[in-house]
Amino acid sequence: MGGVEDDEPASKRMKLSSVELRGLSNGSAFREPVAGSLRDLMARPLPSEGDEDVIGPAGVIKRVEFVRIIAKALYSLGYTKSGAHLEEESGIPLHSSMVNLFTQQILDGHWDESLATLSKIGLVDESVIKSASFLILEQKFFELLDAEKVMDALKTLRTEIAPLCIKNSRVRELSSCIVSPPKCVVVCSPKQDIVRAKSRPKLLEELQKLLPPTIMIPERRLEHLVEQALVLQREACMFHNSSDRDMSLYTDHQCGRDQIPSRTLQILQGHTDEVWFLQFSHNGKYLASSSNDRSAIIWEVDLNGGVTLKHKLSGHQKPVSCVSWSSDDQQLLTCGVEEAVRRWDVSSGNCLHVYEKAGLGLVSCGWHPDRKWIFSGANDKSICMWELGGKELECWKGQRTLKISDLEVTSDGKQIITMCKESALLLLDREAKVERYIEEDQTITSFSLSRDNKFLLVNLLNQEIHLWNIEGEVKLVAKYKGHKRSRFVIRSCFGGLEQAFIASGSEDSQVYIWHRASCDLIGALPGHSGAVNCVSWNPANPHMLASASDDRTIRIWGLKDLNVKRKDCHSNGVHYCNGGT
Amino acid sequence: MDVDPRQYEHIAINDNDIHNIVLSYLVHNCYKETVDSFISCTGMKQPANCLEDMEMRKRILHFALEGNALKAIELTEELAQDLLEKNKDLHFDLLSLHFVELVCSRKCTEALEFAQTKLTPFGKVQKYVEKLEDFMALLAYEEPEKSPMFHLLSLEYRQHVADNLNRAILAHAERPRYAAMERLIQQTTAVRQCLSQELGKDVHPPFSLKDFMKS
């Protein structure tokens, strides 16, 4: 321990000794681990967690890299003392002294010195050196121009920048800058934003991106790695149905089944016959159902998730096969089977208009998102577009062999999706007048559009549900199986957080739920005593699902351990229940 | 290919026409002394006015070719006051010649000042912006001959500008912009090419003026 001054503070002397001891064995930063030398064997303490080259059970994390990105993260967070202490204690410097010098010179604007340091930093690639030099000299150039030292800037351009012989078009732009400095705004060029000096820290950041990461650790590397892990966990989480705020670093994220609705919370008994269709409004505050009893019902969802009957809509002379909510949820369309389409006001329950076509029966209905027009399919295989007042605007006929029974309009109003053949769907782009087709090799019974207009869920005769991507060229993405369908039209829907789940009715009286990405069946929910015809997942509440059944009831499903206080039973057809039936 | 040579014999050519063609070529290129001797040799009637401006025009073009654009501009203004105003492109090209001179003689400060005062005002119009940037780029190089814009320093470029200037002056004096000989050669070539195309490419080789002249 020679060479230590006596007037140095005692702590420093002690530190020196421990560093000295470990400096010999902590060679991973500075030299290859040497085997066999007696001196090393004597000086090296027994291997412990503190001295291995790699850490972690899989042995893929290199100690030096790990410590360096931690130190970088500490500095980014503002904990400079901790960062410095870590560097000292571990003996692993974040950056070499050359890099530190370089960084300081850049921030201080000592361009010529920084260029000299650049050549000593340890870069091997000539082109990187040139690109970095170019960046630095460009900054020098602009700062000179800003200081109005035009001739100096010109000199830099001529003697330092141009000889690099790279980026000739940029050199051209720089020349233009000299002649017409941006602040004079003489040249009317739209690219003003790339002809100013940037801030020095910004320059440093760009240099960091240019230099290899071993020399200069990239910004926020640790944060990036952690986020990557979290995203992967979330994607792997099959039951993920709650917001990302619940993700924690302490444990691997994995939602339990308890996030998926699986318990009947309510049974709604407003209809007197099979319930064929139901759908939540866009804002999740209402539920509309339609039935073989020739009526439709608008239900209201209160803040606690309780559902009560709001209006019973009577007027159709035939069973009501489907409903459609306007984009603002103020109006509802209902369609009587091969009869007419009616438009209702949601708050009053009044029928506002009846749409009919002489000699024809209408079979489906849909809103245009602008709410100025409605679409309807007729049993002569045409699609009509009406103004709200009842005036028919357009009519499309095409090669269709089946009565059109399902109709969907994308939320941008651009495409109409209908059945066109027994086993094909037509996607009609109204503006471009382009028709695309989805061809299946089985009869299609129903379909449903995702909220982002990019995917279509198609129910088939053979008890499969197919997921199609309809952006650009249509392609089949996934298949879901497990439910039962043999005689009736069964409908499915997207649902849950970010529509990550698929739900469907089934003829075995259960509600089926799959994880959309993995196609795994998550659950089959028993409870109904008749075929479940249709399901709808509340868009505003990923924990609420509704199902419509031939047993004349509608069930509201929710989370298992939800314990909500309810008001007393009302006599308007709503039956509350806790737990299973 | 060719037309049967006997067919040429049926076509009569007027000597006067030929004289005029040659004269127009000489006048266009300001070959004053040759014009004088040609006229006296052929006994043509001296056409009015053609000699007057030739001397001036010759001097102007000479300065332009040398690279002394400022002098060329000065004389052009004397000869035809609003010519450069009406021909902005030409004006820009002439000024740029001077700029190039300054750059080549390594007078950077002067070149920069000249560019800022004389050239950048053109930059307000979009179509000059790219040309302007081409020239400004020359400033960046200590050896402009080795820069990507080296063609701006060449004789061909100066010739091109001088030609444009010539045509502009002639047009201003309401004379033909193109010498008759030029036009005739262009006409022949164009017509022959059209014919070749119509007859089909395989039938005959494409027309070559050079070969035709030799035959």
Contact B133 A150 (CB under 8 A): no
B41 and B76 housed in the same domain: no
Q: Kindly list the residues from chain A whose CB atom is less than 8 angstroms away from the CB atom of residue B120.
A: 179-180, 186-187
Q: Please indicate, yes or no, whether the overall pTM of this predicted structure exceeds 0.90.
A: no
User: Which candidate from B123, B132, B140 shows the least CB-CB separation from A174?
Assistant: B140
In this predicted structure, what is the pLDDT of residue A196? 65
pLDDT band at A19 (very low <50, low <70, confident <90, very high): very low
Residues B73 and B136 in one domain: yes
Confidence of residue A37 (pLDDT cuts 50, 70, 90): very low
Residue with tokens 């066999």: A36
> Buried (b) or exposed (e) across A288-324, using 16+ Cβ within 10 A?
bbbbbbbbbbbbebeeebbbbbbbebeebeebbbbbb
Question: Is B128 within a domain?
Answer: yes
Instruction: Output the average pLDDT for chain A.
Output: 81
Cα separation values, A353 from A46, A226, A321, A331, Å: 88, 57, 18, 11
Q: Is the pLDDT of residue A277 over 50?
A: yes
Q: Burial level of A191, CB count in 10 A (0-12/13-18/19+)?
A: exposed
Any domain includes B142: yes
For position A564, what pLDDT does the model report? 39
Q: Report CB contact under 8 Å: A168, B108.
A: no
Subunit contact B132:A176, Cβ cutoff 8 A:
yes
Pairing verdict, β A331-336 and A341-345: antiparallel
How far does the CA of residue B120 sit from the closest CA of chain A (Å)? Answer: 7
The answer to whether A179 contacts B119, with C-beta atoms less than 8 Å apart, is yes
Q: Are residues B94 and B160 in the same domain?
A: yes
The three-point CA angle B165-B166-B167 to 5° equals 95
Q: Residue A496 belongs to what H/E stretch?
A: none
Residue A240 Cα distances to A235, A515, A516, A519, B186, angstroms: 8, 9, 11, 14, 79
Distance from CA of B113 to the nearest CA of A (A): 8
Closest residue in A to B134 (Cα–Cα): A172
Same-domain pairing of B32 and B90: no
Alpha-carbon gap, residue A266 to A547, rounded angstroms = 11
Is B4 within the bounds of a domain?
no
Separation CA A24–CA A18 (nearest Å) = 10
CB B84: neighbour CB atoms within 10 A?
Answer: 18
Q: Please check whether residues B155 and B108 belong to one and the same domain.
A: yes
Structural domain range at position B99: 53-177
pLDDT of residue A485: 78
The half-sphere exposure of A163 on its side-chain side, counting CA atoms within 13 A, is 7
Q: Is the pLDDT of residue A193 over 50?
A: no
- Taking an 8 Å Cβ-Cβ cutoff, which residues of chain B contact chain A? 108-109, 112, 115-116, 119-121, 123-124, 126, 129, 132-134, 136-142, 147-148
> Which pLDDT value is given to residue A51?
62
B55/B36 Cα distance (integer angstroms):
13
Q: Pick the residue with more confidence: A435 or A41?
A: A435
Q: What is the pLDDT of residues A447-477, one digit of tens each?
A: 899 988 899 999 888 888 999 998 888 889 9
List chain A residues with CB under 8 Å of B133.
Answer: 172-173, 175-176
For residue A171 the two structure tokens come to 């050199």
DSSP β-bridge partners for residue B82: none
Q: Would the pLDDT of B182 be above 50? A: yes
Half-sphere exposure of A231 (CA within 13 A, CB side): 6
Residues of B in contact with A180 (CB under 8 A): 116, 120, 123
pLDDT tier for residue A8 given thresholds of 50, 70 and 90? very low
Residues of A with Cβ-Cβ distance to B124 under 8 angstroms: 186, 188
Are A575 and A270 a contacting pair, CB within 8 Å? no
- Nearest-neighbour CA in chain A from B97: distance (Å): 17
Nearest to A489 by CA among A409, A545, A405: A405
C-alpha pair distances (Å), B47 with each of B17, B39, B57, B154: 14, 9, 17, 37
- Look up residue A242 and give its amino acid: S
> Which residue has better confidence, B23 or A581?
B23
In a domain, B210, yes or no: no
Tens digits of residue pLDDT in A312-347: 999 999 999 889 999 999 999 999 888 899 999 999
The H-assigned helical ranges of A237-306 are none
Looking at the 3D structure of chain B, how many domains does it have? 2
Give the minimum alpha-carbon distance from B168 to chain A in angstroms, rounded to a whole number. Answer: 28
- Chain A residue closest to B132 (CA)? A176
In a domain, B102, yes or no: yes
Facing residue for A157 by CB, picked from B116, B134, B140 = B140
* pLDDT top residue among A507 and A42: A507
Select the residue of A150, A168, A179 nearest B136 (Cβ to Cβ).
A179
Q: Quick one: B150 and B114 in the same domain?
A: yes
Q: How confident is the model at residue A244 (pLDDT cuts 50, 70, 90)?
A: low
pLDDT of residue A82: 92
Average of per-residue pLDDT across A139-158: 87
Q: Which of A144, A161, A175 to mutate to test the interface with B (most CBs of B within 10 A)?
A: A175
| In a shared domain, residues B27 and B85 | no
Contact present, A245 and A276 (Cβ < 8 Å): no
**B83 to chain A nearest CA, in Å?**
25
Q: How far is the C-alpha of B134 from the C-alpha of A136, rounded, in Å?
A: 24
Q: pLDDT at position A312, please?
A: 92
pLDDT at A421 over 80: no
Chain A positions touching B106 (Cβ under 8 A) are: none
Tally Cβ neighbours within 10 Å of residue A246: 10
User: Would you say residue B2 lies in a domain?
Assistant: no
Give the residues across from A514 on adjacent strands.
A502, A521
Residue among A222, A216, A224, A214 nearest A106 (CA):
A216
Q: How many helices (H) and strands (E) does chain B have?
A: 12, 0
Distances (CA, A) of B136 to A154, A195, B119, B123, B131: 11, 15, 10, 12, 9
Q: Which residues contact A260 (CB under 8 A, 6 or more apart)?
A: A239, A241, A496, A501, A513, A522, A523, A559
Euclidean distance between the first and the last CA atom of chain A, given in angstroms as a whole number: 83
> Is residue B105 helix, strand or coil?
coil
Statement to judge: residues B43 and B102 lie in one domain = no
Residue A193, min C-alpha distance to chain B (Å)? 17
Q: How confident is the model at residue A35 (pLDDT cuts 50, 70, 90)?
A: very low
B114, B127, B136: which to substitute to probe chain A, counting the most A Cβ within 10 Å? B136
pLDDT surpassing 60 at residue B20 = yes
Smallest CA–CA distance, residue B76 to chain A, in Å, is: 27
B39/B112 same-domain check: no
Mean model confidence pLDDT for chain B:
84
**A551 neighbors A505 (Cβ within 8 angstroms):** no
Mutation for A interface: B133, B142, B149, B152, most A CBs within 10 A: B133
Q: Alpha-carbon distance A64 to A68, whole Å? A: 6
User: Are B20 and B63 contained in the same domain?
Assistant: no
Q: Which of A560, A551, A574, A553 is nearest to A307 (CA)?
A: A574
**Looking at the structure, do residues B104 and B142 belong to the same domain, yes or no?**
yes
Write down the pLDDT at residue A205: 85
Q: Which residues pair with A536 in a beta bridge?
A: A546
Q: At what angle do helices B32-42 and B15-28 cross, to 10 degrees?
A: 170
Q: Is residue B206 part of a domain?
A: no
* A506 and A492 Cβ atoms separated by less than 8 Å: no
Residue A437: strand, helix, or coil: strand
Predicted confidence (pLDDT) per residue in A554-566, tens digit:
999 998 875 433 3
Beta-carbon contacts of B23 under 8 Å, excluding residues fewer than 6 positions away, are: B35, B38, B39, B44, B47
- Give chain A's contact residues with B (Cβ, < 8 Å): 150-151, 154, 157-159, 161-163, 168, 171-176, 178-180, 186-189
Residue B190 within a domain: no
Residues B43 and B59 in one domain: no
Rounded Cα gap, residues A354 and A141, in angstroms:
74
